[in-house]
Structure 1
């Protein structure tokens, strides 16, 4: 098994075919490689770095290395080869996110080289919906306007802090986080229910590929939780996301039982299980 950098001469068709075997789980990697796969940009113009694991000309894994380290599903011998290669380099990513069956054994082999993790999200159900939601969507949920960035930003910071355990303001005072949110707003992929200048609900479609659009950043103002605001809001986002892709996914921590109940009510079903190691 050989782990190496993806290069321009590699077969786009082979990489695409491998990734699309599970376009839901691999949505992040597909989205990061899309402009190379579509021959719009060379690899040197993409953010992050891409590795592949191969043996006798057969691709066994694709790995994205950037702000996050994201491996595709792969077997034990591939994990061993990937861990051996990664252990030779300093950690560059703030998290490892991927299929549970890959992340745990990969981290077991890397932690002696990379040091302690800040937190481990050991089980994160990956959910999917391909049809209209089972609850009535909130008709007040709409695309956020660029001029509303400052209104949405505090809610986004609160959501991230609740979910990840640290504030995004700790890194460059939140400039990168704010820039990414602004980008999603301009792309028409940030949505909210805003009432009298207050954000009641918000979420974004963070990833869009032909096979899957992934919802992220779901947040309801604390004083309206438990009233059905979240389920109606998520239902509205599902309808918007289904206009972008053939399926809609999201993943959630297994201990967030209230969120899991919301997503089940909306009509999401289990597709797989992810895990995350946070630094």
Structure 2
């Protein structure tokens, strides 16, 4: 990639302007589930009048002017919305120009995440400069539901398990919530966030709790003091879509229906109080999780990919 190649590109990547926010939201609305991350930040910009630094506009040259052709969010994660056009039906020209501009203008994020076809295409173009990846997850099922969940039986109990209802977490729960979140993170992401970036990790968790986006189910196992049995967070919220993240069930009670019942309660609460659509994405090889989500009523709506650094 050279400066001359960038100059010849029909696309430019530049900070989004306030006057472009509504048009950017319209681009995202074409696929609200896969676009939920940039949508969340665009809605914040619309409501506050301040466009965050990580929000970028993809502009395409049309004659003597440039029109908004896509948007890109580059924060901890990078996610892009790059619609195809009649004069570029494969999107190849757009993606080539955007990838070149990403390398030239952006700081590499912690991860690329979003629609698999787009993310894997961009990754293939930027890998010589941004690679190597720590882990590549090329096929994650994007799932969503816009109806109340199917009824689930109560978790199996032989007298050793006492459960409270799923509810919003409060800061009073923080001391028992943090270990559960760390256990989930280590299993899913592969390292201990308390040893690498503890302040940022705890700030994020505390924000979700205070924002009413952290859900917890406490209970006692074999008469021990109450601890987290099931938990999840609304990690991303925008465009009427609540993206569920961080789903975790206590290892000692897995296989007893706790996750199924907990997810049903969670989705019911989200649809009643937060957003009409609940979504999530999950590795295609995670058969137990897929069985839980499908039993509750989630349906496949696309394929995601994640590139982690």
Superposition TM-score, scaled by structure 2 size:
0.84
Q: Which moved more, 1:71-80 or 1:21-30?
A: 71-80
Structure 1 residue 88: Cα displacement: 2.3
Q: 1:95 aligned to 79, 104, 111, which one?
A: 111
Q: Are 1:244 and 2:270 counterparts? A: no
Q: Are 1:218 and 2:242 counterparts? A: no
Cα separation, 1, equivalents of 2:70 and 2:172? 42
Q: Are 1:152 and 2:180 counterparts? A: no
SS of 1:136 mapped into structure 2: coil
Whichever of the two has the greater Rg, that structure is: 2
Which deviations, in whole Å up to 9, do the C-alpha atoms of 1:149-197 show, x marking residues without a partner? 111001101111111122222323x221111111111122111110142
1:233/1:90 CA distance change after superposition, 3 Å: same
Q: Are 1:82 and 2:94 counterparts? A: no
Structure 1 residue 47: Cα displacement: 5.4
8 Å CA contact 1:16–1:37 kept in 2: the answer is no
1:1-279 to structure 2, matched below 5 A, reads 1-38=10-47, 40-43=48-51, 46=52, 48-56=54-62, 57-74=66-83, 75-89=91-105, 91-136=107-152, 140-172=165-197, 174-196=198-220, 197-242=226-271, 243-279=273-309
Cα separation, 2, equivalents of 1:263 and 1:159? 17
Which blocks of at least 5 consecutive residues in structure 2 are unaligned?
1-9, 84-90, 155-163, 221-225
Superposition TM-score, scaled by structure 1 size:
0.92
Structure 1 residue 250: Cα displacement: 0.5
Cα separation, 2, equivalents of 1:252 and 1:204? 14
8 Å CA contact 1:206–1:215 kept in 2: the answer is yes
- How large is the RMSD of aligned CA atoms in angstroms? 1.8
SS of 1:170 mapped into structure 2: coil
8 Å CA contact 2:214–2:233 kept in 1: the answer is yes
Cα separation, 2, equivalents of 1:2 and 1:36? 23
Which blocks of at least 5 consecutive residues in structure 1 are unaligned?
none
